Amino acid sequence: MEIELSESLEHYKETIALGLTAKQLLFSVLSVGAGALIILILYKKVGLTASCYIATPAVVPLAMGGFYNYHGLTFRQFLHKMIHFTFFNRPLIYASTENVVELMEAFMAGEKEKAEEEQSGKEGKTNMRDVKRKAVLLIAGVLVALAVITAAAVWWKAKRLSVME
C-alpha cells in the first residue's frame, strides 16, 4: 500500500528556534561567532570597516553551509561538484559516423537552397543587416537618453547648490 503525500509535507523540516532547523542554527551561530572573533582581533589594527571586509570571506561560506540548497545538494556537495567539473572532468570526444561524401552532398544541397531563396527575394523575412541596424539604433538611443538624464541631474544639483550659497 502506498500513501501519497503532498509536496508541502515532503519538504517539511522541524524547526528548533526562530524558525531555523538545527543545521541552520548551528551554522548561523558558527558564522556569527567567527565573524565577531575576526572583527574583535583585527579591530584595533585595521579599523572596523576593513576588519568587516576581511571577515566576510570567512563568514559567508560558513553561513552558506547551513542555508544553501541547490537541487538537493548542500553547499559542500555543490562546491565539490563545481571543483570536480571545473578541474577534473575529462573532455568528451565526438567521433563522427557519417560519410564525408554524404556530408558534402548535404552541405551543397543546403547551399543551393540558400542561393535559391536569395534569388527569389522572398518577402516577410527580415534581413539580418536590418535587425542589427535597429539593435544598434536602440542601444544608441538608450545611451543618449541615459546621458541626457545624467546631464539633467548634474545641472539640477549644481543649480540647487548655487541657490543655497
Average pLDDT, the chain: 81
H or E stretch covering 18:
none
Tell me, yes or no, if the pTM score tops 0.85.
no
Residue 16, pLDDT score: 65
C-alpha–C-alpha distance, residues 48 and 27, integer Å: 24
Q: Identify which has the larger pLDDT, 96 or 59.
A: 59
C-alpha–C-alpha distance, residues 56 and 42, integer Å: 13
Dihedral Cα 28, 33, 35, 37, nearest 10 deg: -170
Q: Identify which has the larger pLDDT, 13 or 51.
A: 51
Which three cell numbers, joined as nine digits, stand for 112? Answer: 543551393
30-85 pLDDT, tens digit per residue, is: 999 999 998 998 888 888 888 888 888 889 888 888 887 888 888 888 888 888 88
